[in-house]
Chains A and B, each alone.
Chain A
Amino acid sequence: MEFKDYYKVMGIARDATEAQIKQAYRKLARKYHPDVSKEKDAEARFKDLGEAYEVLKNPEKRAAYDQLGSGPRPGEQFRPPPDWGAGFEFSGAGGGQDQAYSDFFDSLFGGQARGRTRAASDTGQGEDHHAKIMLDLEASLQGGQRTFTLRVPGVDSTGRLESKERTLNVQIPKGILAGQHIRLAGQGSAPTGKGTPGDLFIEVEFQPHALYRVDGRDLYLPLPVTPWEASLGASIAIPTPSGTVQLKIPAGSQGGTKLRLKGRGIPATPPGDLYAVLEIALPPANDEKSRAAYLAMAAELPFNPRAKMGV
């Protein structure tokens, strides 16, 4: 098992005061909180931090932990000493975080010092579970079944928290939006008494899509057009979630012009819109013919895009 240097995790000295520990925790918690952090490994860092703080903020646990010294040399495996825990009484409940701590923490502080996990309500009703999934946009556009593997925290026969894998085959409701939840009734925890089982709430997030960018229920389609299609107007075929349609480009369009196709976004209630956003694509001047065409335009068109710059 890997030794955890809780002082290193919190970036503090071994003789740090309680005030310094609290200060370090608050600072790092703001930096790595999964709800606010943009750091890649925020969730793992925040979990380590919570575990370190759980031990170091509690004088009893900290004193016991300090007895271990600074741990084995790098590469060595850690084992709790045989007389571990003698003479210490870990009192009170912990922070109440509903998360599994490391094996290292469990080997030292075991079940008795673990923070109370979420209390089941007095009705004996099972707890709700929450999970987040990455979904392809098509699943919302067309509906359909998707299979996911979720990590579900549970309690094993000895009362320790453990994390189990659970594979679910879910019918995705058509028109679901990012940030919304699919509620699967009865798929949460079993009831403790004669209540009903909890529900499973699955929060949806979309993977990036090859064509569309998603904003709520609306879709944005970057649409390359030629200079003559934009200037002269044209009717062109474009992809939409419900199939190819002809889109009329008005004469005199510019790059960045947004053309709205009402109701052709995500088929939610009410349905979103699809916006085609024009991008003028220039033909390459890589042969005689195309160079001649550009030269003809240069000669024929009195066009200065920098006229307003006063140069």
Chain B
Amino acid sequence: MSNVNTPALSGHIFEDYAVLTLHDLSRMCTVETHHIVELVDEGILDVAASDGGHWQFTGEALRRAQLALRLQRDLEVNLAGVALALELMEEIGRLQRALRRVGHET
């Protein structure tokens, strides 16, 4: 097995500094740009800023885009279905955090 005494790798917290262009996000999701544009059109992804007509996304958008694309591909649901699933998953997340705060393991 590789040596664990090698110097530690260090990196940044991606979400804290990342500003992604449409091209960055498409490349990181390994899809063509039109798939990302569809996610924006459906209201699944928010455009954080528009710099001279060029979209910019936050680091959070990566996780959301990947999740949406996985659901779309694996479950064969359309984008409206993906959007609804994401909203419900977020609601479940909120409820689970509320339960954990009062001591229920979820």
Contacts and interface: CB of A to CB of B under 8 A. Distances in A.
Nearest to A95: B73
B13 A170 contact: no
Contacts, number: 99
Interface of B: 1-2, 4-16, 18, 27-28, 30, 59, 62-63, 66-67, 70-71, 73-76, 85, 89, 97, 100-101, 103, 105
A38 B59 CA distance: 26
A258 to B, nearest CB: 9
A188 to B, nearest CB: 10
Given A50-B74, A118-B30, A185-B11, 13 more contacts: A29-B74, A33-B70, A33-B74, A35-B67, A36-B89, A96-B73, A130-B66, A170-B8, A170-B10, A179-B63, A181-B13, A181-B59, A208-B105
A213 B103 CA distance: 8
A30 interface: yes
A60 interface: no
Given A33-B75, A269-B16, A171 B8 contact: yes
A269 B67 CA distance: 25
Contact of A121 (B4, B8, B27, B103): B27
Contacts of A46: 74
B1 A167 contact: yes
Contact of B85 (A29, A36, A183): A36
Interface string A207-229: 01000011110001010000000
